[in-house]
Structure 1
Amino acid sequence: MMRFLGWMLLVLCTIAGPQVWAQQPVRPPATTSAVRVELELGRATFPVTEYFTISFRLSGAPLERYSAFPDLEGFKKSGKSSTTTTRIVEGRTTTELTITQRYAAYAEGEYTIKPFSMTVNGQVARSAGAKLTVGQAPTATAPPPAGSAPQGIGLMDLLFGKPKPQEYVEPKDNAFLALVPDKTSVYVGEGVHVGLYFYLTPSDQGLLDFYNFPGQLPGILRQLRQRTAWEESFNEQEIVPEPVTMGGKPFLRYRLYEAEYYPLNSEPLVFGEVALQMVKYRLAKKPAEGLDNRMEGYKTYRAAARTIAVKPLPPHPLRDQVAVGSYQLREAIDRTAFRTGQAFTYTFGAEGEGNLAALNAPVVQPRTGLEVYGPDVQQELTRQAGRVGGRKVFRYRLVARQPGVLPLDSLLQLVYFDPETGRYDTLRPELRPTVRGAVRTELPFRARTDDPYYQAVLFEASNRLQPLDAYRDVRRYATYILAGLLAIAGWGWWQAKR
């Protein structure tokens, strides 16, 4: 009897509910709440078969950029997910975006997460860390006893019947994949920047998510490789959204891969169609409170093929040897006073944009009364903001034996082709050191005063060339002499015994 009265009371409340709600006053829509960022950690105790999660919730503004999730000792990052939640409370609409990073534990045990912080849209959110306990994998559950209600069916389902499954629809998105080169034609040796980007509108963030991108990336790279080009790939970094504007509309751009290609010959660079599979959620027709109201699906986006024409360099006697790029000369010298017989260091540096690996050392023209040693080569390459450049430094050691002005510009020259001007140019030194002192004919090196070998032997040794098999002949003659001495010793020993 009491159970029947309870069910009747529940039915009456359900019927009277709309009348009570109708009596509440209608409030005007409120303005968007202030921007708020919160960090949330998953359960501190869980089995090794489940994930630990770190999430941040952003409300009051669309997501622009965020810093990388922390690396946890003993755990491996295992993908991310995003959820967009829209709430309407007393006429006020709030939207929350939650980005969740999953972590898989390598083994059971206890772990300590140190305090960390993340930056979201310029705001810093901090977490005090936690102590985690990773337990054993749960055992298989026993089947329910006979006569009990099936799993997922409660008392309300038994009374009114199991609810019908939700119906989902696939909303239209404005996302696309694009392969974007910064030039449509280049010269042989000229760099062209190629980037693979995924674009979506801010409203599509809750509909799309990356699906196994580390597993798809090797196949994408094989499609982008060019047999006739030198490739300088940019450092891999965490994929974060970048706000951009295209056609007057705001988009979020994800930089998937970028590299600089330098054609080695006049064959065109051909990039085929590139495909990327994404997770796309279908939304419930009738959202229900307390449920995710989404169903996971997949969609493949394709970037159109691209062809970049390659032009040969203009005629030049050194066309097959010159570097291509925009360079400036940076030169330096290690002293201000120069005397004959003294060694000094001259640095010839080329700085700018181009394929520094193809930049050869300038050829030194021979000059009477001057000794040149080297060069020592040092290269610094910078990849930043879609540009590849840096500097390449050649260090020479010079010894002048005759006084006078040393015309470095006639000794060192670097010819290159500038694609911006379409002409050849030459880097020439501007420094002209003046060497003072008498004419020196001796070697610039001095023997060590504390080593008699360098004093007496090195400078008295003959500089006459020796045949390559001289040491082999000496070893053979020494073997003959040793054999002869052994024979004489044996004969003497035999005579002594007689």
Structure 2
Amino acid sequence: MFAMAVPVRFVCFLLLLWLGAAGAPRAQTVPPAAPAQPAPAPPAPTSAAEADIVLGRPQLSINEYYTISFRLRGAALEKYSAFPDLEGFKKSGKSSTTTTRIVNGKTSVELTITQRYAAYGEGDYVLKPFTMTINGLTVRSGGGAVRVVSQPAAAAPAPGPVQGLGLLDQLFGKPKPQEYVELQDQAFLALVPDKMSVFVGEGVHIGLYFYLTPADQGLLNFYDLTRQLPAILRQLRQRTVWEESFNEQEIEPETVTAGGKQYLRYRLYEAMLYPLNAQPLTFPAVPLQMIKYRVAKKPAEGLDNRLAGYKTYLSQPRTIEVKPLPPHPLRDQVPVGEFRLLETIDRTAFRTGEAFRYGFVVEGEGNLAALSAPTVATGPTLEVYGPEVEQNLTRQAGRVGGSKQFSYRLVARQPGPLPLDTLFALVVFNPATARYDTLHSGLHPRIGGAAQRLATFDSLPADPFYKEVLNTADNTLRPLNEYRQVRLYANIILAVLLAVAIFSRWRSR
């Protein structure tokens, strides 16, 4: 008997050592210790804290919960980040467990917070990698795969004690499930045009907005917009328009008033559309799926007290009438918009034979991309070169506007007044007045007497050599074969020099 007692005691001693090692903190999750100081300060409460994430079973039935838990050891729980949202699952409450171990007089406490997830249906799901922050510690999970199978057939109850009744249930009673209620929200999705009737070529601003009251912020949240928005925009695209989309931006709330009530408005899409023909613009009703939470009937401290679900919002269909332009000989070529004319000219004194720059600048709101250069009436007394086109477009506060400049170089051949208003003209249609208008120049430069030289180009002010040469160049006509004769004389001279060199070398030998 004594001989057998010794191994038993030895085994018990090894078992205690193993339990102590299992309860000891893991080295890989302990934050790096601070360097030693001359006067060491007492350790912070969280210096020995460690945490890890535990995933639930990879396969479960449809009537079971999938779980994600984190375990915290060595410190009291102060704060932690939210559990991740799993595609195909909805969050269904949390639970917490505290485990206290005493080994060789050492006490260790482990806190486990578990988030339960209920599957919407059977199938295979992918749990993407995620991170959580617990008491300032960043813990990462590599994710995994979850398979949800059908509920097994109910088996006949076996005789014996009631299954699933643990010690805590015997002491405190089985916890009752929380009851959730769905609160009524006042949110809605709307496609908002700034006009319900436009002319062909006239811009109409449209915006897709989601409205909700400040009280609904805790009930609603956006769900998978990166997947939903492209499908929504494909339904809103129009094939018979020129579209100027506003720059992509983050979806942020702005406070607006609608129907005498204050709302938070989220801009999902915004563009300016210019119809190319008289076909009406038809926008169907588009759906947007949102996460909507049900609230616990009796909130419990320490729990989320919300149950996530889904709700789909539909916008109202819209139709915008497109009217043809009034009759006009150039109706198919006339730009539509509220435009005005600005002019630029690079000098104040003019002489025949000298080139000068003239800028015809159209500024205002409209489809500047479809705006063509003005018609130019030229004649033998004027040379016109160009134009060079420069366009500046601004999208701001639901408006699209800017300027388009056509730059020309003009050379007058005859002295006297130069009526630019009869040379440059652009017919436009103003949708605000529903009338045609003509933008024409208001400048009348006077051309002086004949110049001493013909210069249809500008010198290069940045290069002093070309500036001097071009301003003093002789414009006397020369024969076409002049340079050919110069090449002949140069070749003869080179041949003579080569012969002299050969003769000198022969004499030196």
Cα separation, 1, equivalents of 2:172 and 2:129 = 46
**Secondary structure in structure 1 of the residue aligned to 2:183:** coil
In structure 2, the partner of 1:124 is: none
Q: Map 1:161-200 onto structure 2 (within 5 A).
A: 161-200=173-212
Give the drift of 1:190.
0.4
**Secondary structure in structure 2 of the residue aligned to 1:431:** coil
Identical-pair percentage? 64
In structure 2, the partner of 1:270 is: 282
> What's the CA shift string for 1:404-447, capped at 9, x where partnerless?
11111111101000000000001111121122121689563699
Cα separation, 2, equivalents of 1:155 and 1:335 = 99
In structure 2, the partner of 1:322 is: 334
For the pair 1:235 / 2:242, whether they are aligned, the reply is no
Q: Map 1:19-418 onto structure 2 (within 5 A).
A: 137=142, 156-418=168-430
In structure 2, the partner of 1:430 is: 442
**Secondary structure in structure 1 of the residue aligned to 2:450:** coil
Letter in 1 for 2:329: P
4+ residue segments displaced more than 3 Å: 43-47, 104-108, 131-140, 153-158, 439-451, 454-462
Letter in 2 for 1:395: S
Letter in 1 for 2:367: N
Cα separation, 2, equivalents of 1:154 and 1:458 = 114
Give the drift of 1:369.
1.9
Give the drift of 1:161.
2.2
> What's the CA shift string for 1:58-101, capped at 9, x where partnerless?
xxxxxxxxxxxxxxxxxxxx99xxxxxxxxxxxxxxxxxxxxxx
Cα separation, 2, equivalents of 1:393 and 1:318 = 22
Cα separation, 2, equivalents of 1:456 and 1:107 = 79
Cα separation, 2, equivalents of 1:278 and 1:263 = 32
Are the equivalent residues in 2 in contact too, given 1:403–1:439 (CA < 8 A)?
Answer: no
RMSD: 3.7
Are the equivalent residues in 1 in contact too, given 2:454–2:475 (CA < 8 A)?
Answer: no
Letter in 2 for 1:204: D
Are the equivalent residues in 2 in contact too, given 1:402–1:439 (CA < 8 A)?
Answer: no
Query: With structure 1 as the length reference, what TM-score do the two structures score?
Result: 0.61
Are the equivalent residues in 2 in contact too, given 1:331–1:348 (CA < 8 A)?
Answer: yes
Give the drift of 1:320.
0.6
**Secondary structure in structure 1 of the residue aligned to 2:356:** strand
Q: 1:435 to 1:297 in 2, by over 3 A?
A: same
**Secondary structure in structure 1 of the residue aligned to 2:336:** strand
> What's the CA shift string for 1:261-285, capped at 9, x where partnerless?
1110111000111110000001111
Q: 1:390 to 1:435 in 2, by over 3 A?
A: same
**Secondary structure in structure 2 of the residue aligned to 1:341:** strand
Are the equivalent residues in 2 in contact too, given 1:340–1:440 (CA < 8 A)?
Answer: no
Are the equivalent residues in 2 in contact too, given 1:185–1:310 (CA < 8 A)?
Answer: yes
Cα separation, 2, equivalents of 1:138 and 1:187 = 56
> What's the CA shift string for 1:421-478, capped at 9, x where partnerless?
0000011111211221216895636998989xx999997559xxxxxxxxxxxxxxxx
Number of matched pairs: 336
**Secondary structure in structure 2 of the residue aligned to 1:165:** coil
Are the equivalent residues in 1 in contact too, given 2:346–2:356 (CA < 8 A)?
Answer: yes
Are the equivalent residues in 1 in contact too, given 2:384–2:410 (CA < 8 A)?
Answer: yes
